[in-house]
């Protein structure tokens, strides 16, 4: 695909579970105009470490158009990224109950994905840069966290509980 068919879209995670995030973690994506909003949503979810993907997720454009999988929205599997322009902003809401809210901004158009860390032209929307700590989508802090107990105690020495596979791991 030619350069004019690509956008760079910045996605910032604004809030989740009713809590604003600061500083806001984010990712930059290479996205072709021919990609669908559904494809872009999958890329965002994967890049932000979402492992439990509920339905529906929804995009809200600046003009109020809603794109998703509900009967009251345009179908995200058909709606293309298409005519977004540099500076355009829109929202993405993952898991409406938990309200994972994202601000998406077209930061570059046209955009050449071959000049990124990707070193090629991806088939699907693809992250190529990122920053920030990502919260677990369910707020879990360790494997069996149910939110009702304090976390496991940290060892006196931070690497003592590890097998001696790398230098400094394991008890001395």
Q: Per-residue pLDDT tens for 24-78?
A: 999 999 999 999 999 999 999 999 988 787 767 899 999 999 999 888 899 999 9
Report the relative pairing of strands 66-68 and 74-75 from DSSP bridges: parallel
How far is Cα 124 from Cα 25, in angstroms, rounded to an integer? 22
Q: Is residue 41 part of a domain?
A: yes
Q: Is residue 30 part of a domain?
A: yes
Confirm if 171 and 157 have CB atoms less than 8 A apart: yes
Residue 139 has pLDDT above 90, yes or no: no
The reported pTM is 0.86
Instruction: Identify the residue with better confidence: 25 or 143.
Output: 25
How far is Cα 48 from Cα 26, in angstroms, rounded to an integer? 8
Q: Is residue 171 part of a domain?
A: no
Q: What's the pLDDT at 78? A: 94
Q: Is residue 98 part of a domain?
A: yes
172 band by pLDDT with thresholds 50, 70 and 90: low
Q: Is residue 157 part of a domain?
A: no
Per-residue pLDDT, averaged over 144-160, amounts to 81
Confirm if 105 and 89 have CB atoms less than 8 A apart: yes
For residue 109, the domain's CATH number is 3.10.290.30
Q: Which tokens in the block code for residue 109?
A: 């158009």
Confirm if 56 and 96 have CB atoms less than 8 A apart: yes
Residue 161 has pLDDT above 60, yes or no: yes
SS3 (DSSP) at 44 = helix
Domain containing 58: what range? 3-131
How far is Cα 91 from Cα 101, in angstroms, rounded to an integer? 7
Q: Is residue 16 part of a domain?
A: yes
Residue 3 has pLDDT above 60, yes or no: no
Q: Is residue 121 part of a domain?
A: yes
Q: Is residue 50 part of a domain?
A: yes
Query: Looking at the DSSP assignment, which residues form a beta bridge with residue 10?
Result: 28, 105
Report the relative pairing of strands 26-32 and 58-61 from DSSP bridges: unpaired
2 band by pLDDT with thresholds 50, 70 and 90: low
Per-residue pLDDT, averaged over 92-104, amounts to 90
Q: Which tokens in the block code for residue 121?
A: 């032209």
Q: Count structural domains, the chain.
A: 1
Q: Which tokens in the block code for residue 99?
A: 């309200």
Instruction: Identify the residue with better confidence: 53 or 162.
Output: 162
């Amino acid at each position: 695909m030619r350069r004019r068919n690509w956008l760079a879209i910045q996605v910032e995670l604004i809030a989740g579970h009713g809590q604003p995030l600061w500083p806001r973690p984010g990712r930059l994506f290479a996205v072709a105009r021919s990609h669908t909003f559904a494809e872009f949503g999958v890329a965002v979810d994967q890049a932000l470490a979402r492992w439990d993907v509920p339905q529906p997720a929804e995009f809200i454009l600046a003009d109020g158009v809603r794109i998703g999988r509900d009967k009251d929205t345009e179908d995200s599997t058909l709606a293309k990224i298409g005519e977004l322009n540099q500076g355009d902003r829109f929202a993405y809401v993952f898991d409406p109950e938990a309200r994972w809210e994202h601000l998406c901004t077209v930061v570059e158009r046209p955009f050449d994905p071959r000049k990124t860390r990707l070193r090629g032209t991806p088939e699907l929307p693809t992250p190529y840069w990122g920053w920030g700590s990502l919260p677990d989508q369910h707020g879990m802090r360790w494997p069996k966290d149910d939110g009702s107990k304090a976390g496991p105690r940290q060892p006196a020495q931070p690497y003592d509980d590890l097998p001696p596979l790398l230098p400094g791991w394991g008890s001395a």
